């Protein structure tokens, strides 16, 4: 019980500070320090957590992918590729409301840390001329970016679940499909309520040409996806290859490369990743999350409640899919086994619940980056998420009753 109270108090502080628009890196530094103090963490242990948050292979990879994302965004924006993507998707689907959803969904095919920062300018451009509040644009960008994590083999979360449970990826993706469908469908009323049809620019060269031009503009992203899915390249190396291909294609000189890096990269990028990872490291070092999970597992709550709440809480506290899977599924496996043939359906509910927590986590980089890009009020964006997230989770109960 003490673990639950301590971690809950820290999360409340995080939400309050973010509501005051304090930089997320600073907020997570404060939260990590407070959590360490609450658990009387020795200074050497805290310094070890700080070291891993900045210099561990995971930290370097996350930071590197985020840097690649902002550099790609800079190059594609300045070269006109982003404008071409929006223009040609508009040619394929003249209603720009569809374009606003399609852009983050397309970028979301690639599991890139901070990918919401890549799609945000595309949403901004697609929304040009429409009277949308920053919070609505941030919500659209954030919501439609996260369709694929339930069902895509590119995302490590579902692969990790497959390895831990022994179920095939196909079976898990089939069970999770209801979540992806619910996100897609529920996004329509919640993202576009009150927005009239917005017609794009009329094209005279036909949809085939529009499709070809769109594929050309999106080719760097498709290159990265192909390297990850087909060749099996590490995502950071794939993103680096995509950046290199853009630099070569547009014949960037050494001076232009330095200018692009200077414009794209800031200390905030590094501090943001380090702050989030430091909090996760402190959670693990103190045993806070393990204590919370253990307390709930021993609480005598109904099985379905435990299978939903434990991953959900871990998702909120870590903001990472692999985080909640790795921390909570070892506890959940015996509970899942209690239902025998119903395990695939229960596994889907556990995964969907945990990812719902990730979507509502103030530590989720895509949520923070979307809000910062559009200069949106974090509290207002967060409130927009609550009801549709609850409905997606409710829809996810369907496999429990109908999955064979």
Tell me, yes or no, whether 382 lies in a domain: yes
- For residue 110, tell me if it sits in a domain: yes
* Angle (CA) 155 117 223, round 5°: 55
Domain-embedded: residue 9? yes
Packing angle, helices 321-337 and 343-359, rounded to 10 = 150
Tell me the C-alpha distance between 196 and 206, whole Å.
25
In a domain, 199, yes or no: no
What per-residue confidence (pLDDT) applies to 259? 92
Length of the chain counted residue by residue: 404
Tell me whether residue 355 is in a domain: yes
Residue 231 lies in a domain: yes
Per-residue confidence at 16, pLDDT binned at 50, 70, 90? confident
Q: Is residue 49 part of a domain?
A: yes
In this predicted structure, the answer to whether residue 219 has a pLDDT above a threshold of 70 is: yes
**In the block, which residue shows the tokens 């369709």?**
147
Q: Is 320 left (phi over 0), alpha (psi -120 to 50) or beta?
A: beta
Do residues 96 and 126 make contact, with C-beta atoms less than 8 angstroms apart? yes
CA 268 to chain centre: 18
Q: Which of left, alpha, beta for 256 (phi over 0: left; psi -120 to 50: alpha)?
A: alpha
Question: What is the domain extent for residue 147?
Answer: 2-194+204-402
Does the pTM of the predicted model rise above 0.75?
A: no
- Which pLDDT tens digit goes with each residue over 56-100? 887 888 788 778 877 887 888 888 887 787 777 777 777 778 888
| Full DSSP string of 167-231 | --HHHHHHHHHHHHHHHHHHHHHHHHTTPPP-B----SSHHHHHHHHHHHHHHHHHHHHHIIIII
Q: DSSP states of 149-171 as a string?
A: GGT-TTSHHHHHHHHHH---HHH
Count of structural domains within the chain = 1
Summary mean pLDDT of the chain = 82
Q: What is the pLDDT of residue 48?
A: 93
CA dist 403 and 348 (Å) reads 10
State which of 23-32, 133-142, 269-278, 343-352 shows the largest mean pLDDT.
Answer: 133-142
> At 214, phi and psi to the nearest 5?
-65, -45
Q: Quote the radius of gyration of the chain (alpha carbons, Å).
A: 21
Using an 8 Å Cβ cutoff, are 350 and 336 in contact?
yes
pLDDT digits (tens, 9 = 90+) for 328-343: 776 677 677 666 555 7
Q: How far is CA 333 from CA 157, 324, 357, in A?
A: 16, 13, 19
How far is the CA of 182 from the CAs of 90, 92, 187, 196, 393, in angstroms?
24, 24, 8, 23, 9
200 pLDDT exceeds 70?
Answer: no
pLDDT of residue 201: 55
């Amino acid at each position: 019980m003490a673990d639950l109270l301590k971690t809950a108090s820290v999360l409340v502080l995080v939400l309050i500070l973010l509501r005051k628009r304090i930089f997320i890196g600073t907020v997570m530094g404060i939260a990590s320090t407070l959590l360490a103090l609450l658990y009387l963490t020795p200074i050497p242990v805290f310094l070890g957590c700080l070291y891993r948050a900045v210099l561990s292979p995971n930290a370097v990879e996350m930071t590197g992918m985020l840097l690649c994302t902002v550099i790609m965004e800079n190059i594609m924006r300045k070269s006109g590729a982003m404008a071409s993507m929006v223009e040609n998707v508009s040619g394929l689907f003249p209603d720009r409301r569809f374009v606003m959803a399609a852009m983050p969904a397309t970028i979301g095919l690639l599991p890139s840390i901070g990918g919401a920062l890549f799609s945000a300018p595309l949403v901004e451009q697609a929304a040009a001329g429409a009277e949308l509040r920053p919070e609505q644009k941030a919500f659209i960008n954030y919501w439609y970016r996260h369709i694929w994590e339930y069902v895509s083999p590119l995302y490590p979360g579902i692969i990790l679940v497959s390895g831990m449970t022994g179920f095939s990826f196909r079976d898990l993706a089939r069970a999770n499909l209801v979540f992806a469908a619910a996100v897609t469908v529920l996004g329509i009323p919640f993202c576009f309520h009150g927005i009239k049809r917005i017609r794009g620019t009329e094209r005279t060269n036909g949809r085939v040409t529009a499709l070809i031009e769109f594929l050309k503009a999106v080719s760097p992203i498709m290159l990265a996806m192909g390297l990850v899915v087909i060749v099996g390249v590490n995502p950071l190396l794939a993103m680096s290859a995509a950046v290199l291909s853009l630099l070569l294609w547009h014949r960037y000189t050494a001076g232009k490369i330095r200018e692009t890096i200077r414009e794209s990269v800031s200390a905030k990028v590094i501090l943001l990743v380090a702050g989030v990872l430091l909090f996760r490291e402190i959670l693990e070092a103190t045993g806070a999350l393990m204590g919370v999970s253990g307390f709930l597992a021993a609480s005598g709550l109904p099985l379905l409640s435990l299978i939903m709440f434990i991953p959900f809480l871990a998702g909120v506290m870590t903001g990472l899919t692999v985080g909640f899977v790795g921390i909570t599924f070892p506890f959940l496996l015996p509970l899942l086994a209690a239902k025998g043939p119903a395990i695939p359906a229960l596994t889907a509910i556990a995964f969907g619940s945990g990812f719902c927590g990730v979507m509502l986590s103030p530590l989720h980089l895509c949520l923070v980056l979307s809000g910062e890009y559009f200069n949106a009020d974090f509290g207002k964006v967060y409130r927009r998420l609550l009801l549709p997230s609850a409905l997606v989770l409710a829809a996810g109960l369907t496999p429990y009753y109908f999955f064979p």
